[in-house]
Amino acid sequence: MGYLFKNISIITMDDERQPVIISDLLIEGSKISRIDTNIPKMAHKVIEGKNLLVMPGFINTHTHVSMSLLRGYGDDLELFEWLSSRIWPIEAKLTKNDVYVGAKLGIAEMLLSGTTTFLDMYQDMEMVGKASQEIGIRCHLSRGTIYTGIENKDNEALKQLEELIDKFHDYDEGRIKVLAGPHAIYTNNTEFLKAQLEIAKRRNIGVNIHVSETKKENEDAILSLGKTPIAYLDEIGLLDAPYVVAAHMIYLNKEDQKIVKNKKIGIAHNPKSNLKLGSGIANVQKYISDGIKVGIGTDGAASNNNLDMLSELQYASLLQKGLNLDATSLNAYETLKMATIEGAKVLNISDRVGMLKEGYDADLIMFDLNQPHYYPIENSHISKIVYSGKSSDIIMTMVKGKTLMVNRELKTIDLDKTYNEVSEIIERVHKEND
Ligand SMILES: [Zn+2]
């Protein structure tokens, strides 16, 4: 038993094929087993493809999914004030179960908007792992760390990272992965960063970190360390981890860019969060032209304020055109690559997801094109998805061959129950504030 899509429009994101084909696509077990015309109908669930389109699921390379609980809390503040006066005080009140409920809420939003993989950074990551295990989404967990100077606490954070690896890394044939997650250079010191690097190297995992998110971060680094954040991370060896995902990377000079390219760092570009926090606009067209891997992330729902990748990639493309005064900047196909196969490269999993290809895991989404904003329907599907697409038109989200959302209905999350749990948490946290 598997799924057979018949005569369906397919954006494969596979450069060895035409960008868009009309074909049959067969899924057996967790994998795409065939893309071909005239695949015979057997004991499969058949989906007739008229006015439907399938493509790889979106890969969100940077988020803090449980921050969905904090949506709308502390809007219109710049990053440092936002973190210290709003976010960190309320996060200190969240219990493990709150993080779990926040993860369910965020994953529900992601599945309904076509995200099949996300890289997360937060505290109590085992709760995000538990939610992902149960729900079936592909998830990379990074244990966010902030150096406190209190020995017990800092050692405990390192211990939790090791436990997270023991419990979740490579779960379900690699559907879940674990990374070290030092929050940033301004919230960690050299010794603590090196301790996390040591774990990353010994356990062969990646490192996920915020870098050069604001001008202030760069100016402070130059004042206190005499170099840019990236040059500093290079100097202390952090960029020699098995792989590195650096979020934001707005303020890179030419030397930084050279380091990023040579060390094969993957960048997670978060255009909406960077705009909303007044942080700036990363010139990712320049990075991509230089051969640097760049994916797209939403960041958390407290600084965006949603986890909708389609909206994110639309901002990404339009911003580059405006920034570079060049309509050819970040064209539709390049942008879609960032949200799929390039994102998979950033997360080091491009050998199994990010494209629709025989032998790849069946992580895909299906659009209903029978909407006014896709007509005329005959041409340029890629630009339609990128420039006029709406995530509410996604009617199927599949991870490893399992349908997690069909016809806008979530199969593995009780949404009403989750809403009630969220309301209870918010009520309790506000009471504690009084
Ligand atoms: Zn972030």
- Residue among 102, 106, 79, 92 nearest 303 (CA): 79
Dump pLDDT digits (tens) for 366-413.
999 999 999 998 878 999 999 999 999 999 999 999 999 999 999 999
CA 61–ligand 1 middle distance (angstroms): 10
CA 228–ligand 1 middle distance (angstroms): 19
Domain 58-346 has CATH 3.90.1010.10: no
Phi-psi region of 7 (alpha: psi -120 to 50; beta: other; left: phi over 0): left
pLDDT at 434: 62
CA 188–ligand 1 middle distance (angstroms): 15
How many CB atoms neighbour CB 376 within 10 A? 7
The reply to whether the predicted model has a pTM over 0.95 is: yes
Neighbours of ion ligand 1 (CB under 5 A): 299
The CATH number of domain 2-56+357-410, selected from 2.30.40.10, 3.20.19.10, 2.170.190.11, 2.20.28.10: 2.30.40.10
pLDDT at 433: 66
How many CB atoms neighbour CB 400 within 10 A? 22
Cα 382 to Cα 395: distance, rounded to the nearest angstrom: 18
- Using CA atoms in the order 285, 289, 290, 295, what is the torsion angle rounded to 10 degrees? 50
pLDDT at 82: 84
In eight-state DSSP terms, residue 289 is H
Dump pLDDT digits (tens) for 61-93.
999 999 999 998 888 888 888 888 888 888 889
pLDDT at 171: 98
pLDDT at 80: 85
Which part of the chain has CATH 2.30.40.10?
2-56+357-410
CA 62–ligand 1 middle distance (angstroms): 6
Q: What is the mean pLDDT of residues 105-121?
A: 98
What are the φ and ψ backbone dihedral angles of 57, each rounded to 5 degrees?
-65, 155
Q: What is the mean pLDDT of residues 177-183?
A: 98
Which part of the chain has CATH 3.20.20.140?
58-346
Dump pLDDT digits (tens) for 344-365.
999 999 999 999 999 999 999 9
Cα 267 to Cα 10: distance, rounded to the nearest angstrom: 27
